């Protein structure tokens, strides 16, 4: 059985995307130190940066963004999101962060 390696197109709210970027940025340095994760971390960072660039190029603010997420980056982001959601258990008083992270996880197929 072959593994799907085609990029996955996802559409998420701009706010959820920015929260995802902030989450990834917050752990980027620590993840980059792990040599076995270096390639997927860089690939994921580039994918997110491409999304940020696309948002900046918009003439008017948009409510959603569509991204092409490589399989490895999607898998990696799902794992990261699950870990963060587990840490938020009982800490996110208004629930907004949790909802945005869950939106990202659902969009990524997790």
Cβ atoms 13, 64 nearer than 8 A: yes
Partner residues linked to 14 by β-bridges: none
| Beta bridge partners of residue 69, listed in sequence order | 8
CA–CA gap between residue 110 and residue 102 (Å, rounded): 9
Tell me the CA distances in angstroms from 2 to 70, 77, 103, one per residue in order.
16, 21, 28
pTM of the shown model: 0.86
Would you say residue 1 has pLDDT above 50? no
pLDDT in tens, 39-89: 999 999 999 999 999 999 999 989 999 999 999 999 999 999 999 888 887
Residue 110, SS3? Answer: coil
């Amino acid at each position: 059985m072959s593994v799907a390696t085609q990029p996955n197109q996802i559409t998420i709210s701009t706010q959820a995307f920015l929260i995802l970027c902030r989450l990834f940025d917050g752990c980027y340095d620590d993840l980059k130190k792990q040599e076995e994760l270096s390639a997927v971390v860089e690939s994921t960072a580039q994918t997110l940066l491409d999304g940020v660039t696309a948002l900046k190029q918009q003439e008017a603010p948009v409510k959603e963004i569509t991204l092409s997420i490589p399989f490895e980056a999607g898998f990696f982001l799902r794992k990261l999101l699950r870990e963060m959601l587990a840490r938020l258990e009982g800490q996110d008083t208004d629930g907004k962060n949790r909802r945005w992270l869950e939106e990202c996880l659902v969009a990524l197929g997790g």
